[in-house]
């Protein structure tokens, strides 16, 4: 269940979905992506400096 993998309550998840136009399926994918990122970080699997520079150059530095 989505709420068990989130810091939000069931009601907060539904409110977020309704107010931001995000489906529960979108939220499921987002949480799965975050979890995959955390697992990669725990393994020490990070982007190198060249990869970071490529993304910053592509999307611009904020």
DSSP state of 6: S
pLDDT at 23: 82
Say how many CA atoms lie within 13 Å of 52 toward its Cβ.
Answer: 4
How far is 5 from 11, CA to CA, in rounded Å? 14
DSSP-assigned letter for residue 8? S
pTM recorded for the entire structure: 0.54
| pLDDT of the residue at 9 | 85
Query: What's the confidence (pLDDT) of residue 1?
Result: 62
The one-digit pLDDT tens for each residue of the chain (62 residues) are 666 667 778 888 788 878 888 788 888 898 889 999 999 989 989 888 999 899 999 988 65
């Amino acid at each position: 269940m989505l709420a068990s993998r989130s810091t939000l309550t069931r009601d907060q998840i539904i409110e977020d979905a309704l107010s931001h136009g995000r489906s529960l399926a979108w939220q499921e994918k987002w949480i799965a992506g975050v979890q995959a990122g955390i697992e990669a970080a725990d393994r020490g699997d990070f982007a190198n400096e060249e990869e970071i520079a490529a993304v910053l150059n592509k999307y611009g530095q904020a």
